[in-house]
Amino acid sequence: MMAMSKKILEQEPSEIEMLLPWHAAGTLNARDARRVDEALARDPELAKQYAAIREEYAETIDLNESLGAPSARAMQKLFAAIDAEPARNPSASLNISARIVEFFAKLSPRTLAWSASLGALALLLQAGVIGAVLVKNQAASYQTASLSTNEPVTRDLAAGAPPRALVRFAPDARVADITALLDSYQASILDSGKGGMFRLQFGNKAMSKDEIAGLMSKLQNEKIVSLAVATP
Amino acid sequence: MQVLYGRHHVRVFRFGLRLVRDEQVAEDLISEVFLDVWRQAGKFEGRSAVSTWLLAITRFKALSALRRRKDVELDDEAANAIEDTSDDPEVAVQKKDTGEALRKCLTALSPEHREIVDLVYYHEKSVEEVAEIVGIPENTVKTRLFYARKKLAELLKAAGVERGWP
């Protein structure tokens, strides 16, 4: 046993062997996880090592969890220090950046993966519904019932309002890219997180239908945009 | 900032505490880390997860704090500060508590080995993320963890714990 242990200790570890801890933690990509699973199935020595790793994994978590949490003093110190910082005028883009960072920070990698899948499904449904509504009510107007002139009096509901759109970003879009895109389009986020879609408003001025169509077309051609649909 | 702090401060604290081994210093550390985040929010490029960014800052601050204390080499002394509540590994084994012996040996690892074990097992960081936090190549991340585990096995063996590996 001693001789065998010594032999193993002196050996250079194999690639699969080195990946075992990440397999135990569930942080390997699908391809590597499959490779490790296959190796574990055919190599009992590796499986024995993996059992030891799972034990280490559990005890490391236990140890860290036993460390407790910081006292309120740390938070008081932090926010006192922030209060003492010179006043800043954060730009609009910073606010947007912070909102996006906070939104993504709330999600674990697994949640993000599920959101992406659900988002893709919701995307198809929403695109269909929005498309149908837009085609049906292209004029976006209403007709008064009290007047009796030959021509109906209509008022464009969209008049005066800046254009809005539902936008879904590519799954690999970086926060910095999204922020830069929002800046370049002078866009702001009105609503976020529903099925991975963001409701954006562009600028502060109304646009004609042609301008909006051009804007959507330009937006749709952005590398980090998966879908852009104008909304009323 | 409150949301960010609320979500990450405990893990940042624990990561810092495992590095500096002093609760007061670790608490000061998290204030410094989040203050830095407040000051540098605009520099966050979103290439990595927020937690990875925070842990990288924490590590840098912890190492600076350790350098300030100038007692990195006196690791065993520092360890005593937080290890008084449990038995030695040998005693733990006598109690047939392998888990406790393992935890004891985990605290006895070198700072370099401790941080990589924590980042992978507790903070669930990928090879790429650990490489980013520690500032070493990905292959070095893998080999460093392997040798950290080997050291852990040696410590356990010295304490009389046989786990079938290596």
Report the percentage of chain A scoring pLDDT > 90.
Answer: 22
Task: Give the tens place of pLDDT for each residue, A160-200.
Answer: 788 888 887 777 777 777 878 888 888 887 776 555 677 78
Residue B91 shares a structural domain with residue B153: yes
Q: What pLDDT score does A102 carry?
A: 60
Q: Identify the band that residue A3 occupies on the pLDDT scale cut at 50, 70 and 90.
A: very low
Please indicate, yes or no, if residue B78 is contained in any of the structural domains: no
- Above 0.85 for ipTM, yes or no? no
Residue B123 shares a structural domain with residue B66: no
Among partner residues A62, A73, A82, which is closest to B103 by beta-carbon distance? A62
Q: What pLDDT score does A85 carry?
A: 79
Q: What pLDDT score does A151 carry?
A: 44
Look at the alpha carbons of B80, B83, B89, B94 in this order and tell me if their dihedral is positive or negative: positive
- CATH assignment of the domain containing B150: 1.10.10.10
State which residues form the domain around B119.
86-160
In chain A, what are the domain boundaries?
14-65, 92-231
Q: What pLDDT score does B46 carry?
A: 66
Q: What is the DSSP string of A24-40?
A: HHT-S-HHHHHHHHHHH
Of B72, B97, B121, the position where a domain reaches its end is: B72
Q: What pLDDT score does B97 carry?
A: 77
Over range A191-212, report the average pLDDT: 77
Residues A59, B45: C-beta atoms closer than 8 Å:
no
Among partner residues B13, B38, B50, which is closest to A105 by beta-carbon distance? B50
A-chain residues within 8 Å CB-CB of B79? Answer: none
Its pTM stands at: 0.56
Of B15, B46, B72, the position where a domain reaches its end is: B72
Please indicate, yes or no, if residue B115 is contained in any of the structural domains: yes
Which one of A11, A31, A60 makes the best mutation probe of the B interface by having the most chain B beta carbons within 10 Å?
A: A60
Residue B111 shares a structural domain with residue B51: no
A-chain residues within 8 Å CB-CB of B46? Answer: 100-101, 174-179
Q: Which one-letter amino acid corresponds to residue A63?
A: L
Residue B95 shares a structural domain with residue B50: no
Looking at the 3D structure of chain B, how many domains does it have? Answer: 2
Task: Give the span between the Cα atoms of A133 and A229, in whole angstroms.
Answer: 11
CA contacts within 13 A on the Cβ side of A127: 12
User: What does the pLDDT profile of chain B (166 residues) look like in tens digits?
Assistant: 778 888 899 999 999 999 998 899 999 999 999 999 888 877 766 667 889 989 999 999 999 888 877 655 555 555 554 444 455 555 555 545 788 889 999 999 999 999 999 999 999 999 999 999 999 999 999 999 999 999 999 999 988 887 777 7
- CATH assignment of the domain containing B30: 1.10.1740.10
Whether the pLDDT of residue A1 is over 50: the answer is no
Nearest Cα residue in chain B from A65: B14
Q: What pLDDT score does A50 carry?
A: 94
Closest by CA position to A126, among listed A180, A192, A196: A196
Residues B28, A74: C-beta atoms closer than 8 Å:
yes
Angle at the Cα of B145 from the Cα atoms of B142 and B149, rounded to 5 degrees? 140
